[in-house]
Structure 1
Amino acid sequence: MGKLLFTFVALGLLATTVVIATDADPINDFCVADLTSPIKINGLVCKNPATVTGADFAFTGIENAGDTNNSLGIAITPGLPGVSYPGLNTLGLGIARVNFPGLNTQGLSVARVDYAVGALLPPHTHPRATELLYVIQGELYVGFVDTNDKFYPAVIRKGDVYVFPRGLVHFQFNIGKSPAVALGVLNSQNPGVQLMANALFGAQPTIMDAVLAKAFIIPTSEVEIIKKGFGA
């Protein structure tokens, strides 16, 4: 009986941990974000429900191709300034909690991704979300690496869907002969994004050269060259 009780308690704690690992459940029907409020909380302050209209739950423009004229050849819509990258001032993140107010507290974000021919969305992670990628047009080489360093690659084309598990390193590369378009849906209103190369070689203050040289098994002189590419 004691062992059985212990098992139930352990399973209960595990289930609680899993629940806590996701966005909190909403306690109202909706909470349209008030983008004018200076108050910062875990999410955004709600607008007065009396001022909310159907337009707050609609986003216009996701059907329009983004401008891929940058060093990565990538555009993300809706996007706001987020992550710097060499030759690219900012990489839009499609953070729904900021630029799609109706998704506030709903535990979702959505983004259109445009890829120029040969464009690469570099290895990165979303620490707070699983991502589902639906190909609208083109051909992408994608994949992620699990915590055992096993790589799961695939080539996906128009109509295909691919899932990137929460927090794992992944990328998308346009291997087709024409521009590609995909729609990404993530199960967090603020999934976060961390580009691997940028985080390591572009961090401020900079990471000691000797650390990166040992980690990547390269000379410190090469570390300096890579850092310069990231403006570090």
Structure 2
Amino acid sequence: MAFPSTKSTTLFFFFILTIFSIAKSSDPDPIVDFFSSPLGAIINGSSFTFTGLRSAFTDFPPNFKPTKATFSEFPALLGQSVSMAILQYPAGTINPPHTHPRSAELLLVVSGSLQVGFIDTTNQFFNQTLQVGDLFVFPKGLVHFQFNADPGNSATAIAAFASANPGTVSLPPTVFTSGISDEVLAEAFKTDVAVIRSIKVGLTPPKS
């Protein structure tokens, strides 16, 4: 009986690992209707209800604020491949450049106007000014932002995701406050350490 060569076996296992990696790159399909609450808990309509977005309809913050309904806040979303957020932009505020590694984002403007944009993997910039009722899609994993350029009026948008946990990687704090040395950052941005430290000070929240 002939056995496959070592090279063929290696390629086979590499192929299998690649397929497994692709399959794991998005939310898996559930094999049950829904994931239940802890053992012994009563399952009823309340189990599938989330009230954490109410404040976004009654209060307006002084700074940009995302109010999220992902798996972390709303466990019933586990396995459902959906989540959302209410995004509130006081006049002149920005949702800084960031990415969602596990989902595209579909943005609907419900009040005010927003300047939005994203950068693809060829470094091409796509931007648009959105009005109430406009939709904009940010492709999965690409760096994007939203900016309320109106100095006198606030804006609100609803963001929808095709993942129960899309994740958010905000570039400014990730790059400048995550522990990368000042020397490495200065070399990467072709500047000096003093400039890097000045940026870090601006990103450090004031002590309460």
Structure showing greater relative contact order (alpha-carbon pairs closer than 8 Å, 6 or more residues apart): 2
For each residue in 1:179-200, what CA deviation from the matched residue of structure 2 results, as whole angstroms up to 9, or x when unmatched? 1111111111111111111011
Q: Which residue of 2 aligns with 1:175?
A: 149
Q: Which residue of 2 aligns with 1:96?
A: 70
Shift in CA distance, 50/212, structure 1 to aligned 2, threshold 3 Å: closer
Q: What is the deviation of 1:13?
A: 9.1
Q: Which residue of 2 aligns with 1:124?
A: 98
SS in 2 for 1:229: helix
Question: Normalising to structure 2: TM-score of the pair?
Answer: 0.80
Task: Note the aligned Cα RMSD (angstroms).
Answer: 2.5
Q: Which residue of 1 aligns with 2:167?
A: 192
Q: Which residue of 2 aligns with 1:25?
A: 29
SS in 2 for 1:114: strand
C-alpha distance in 2, partners of 1:169/1:75? 19
Is 1:227 equivalent to 2:188 in the alignment? no
Q: Which moved more, 1:149-158 or 1:16-25?
A: 16-25
Q: What is the deviation of 1:47?
A: 3.6
Q: Which residue of 2 aligns with 1:152?
A: 126
Larger-Rg structure: 2
C-alpha distance in 2, partners of 1:231/1:75? 17
Q: Which residue of 1 aligns with 2:66?
A: 76
Identity %: 38
Is 1:216 equivalent to 2:189 in the alignment? yes
C-alpha distance in 1, partners of 2:177/2:141? 20
Question: Normalising to structure 1: TM-score of the pair?
Answer: 0.73
For each residue in 1:112-164, what CA deviation from the matched residue of structure 2 results, as whole angstroms up to 9, or x when unmatched? 11110111000111111111111111100001111111111111111111111
C-alpha distance in 2, partners of 1:52/1:178? 43
Amino acid at match of 1:223: I
* Contact 2:100 2:142 survives alignment (8 Å): yes
Amino acid at match of 2:160: V
Q: What is the deviation of 1:17?
A: 5.3
Aligned length: 189
Shift in CA distance, 62/208, structure 1 to aligned 2, threshold 3 Å: closer
Q: Which runs of 5+ in 2 are unaligned?
A: 1-11
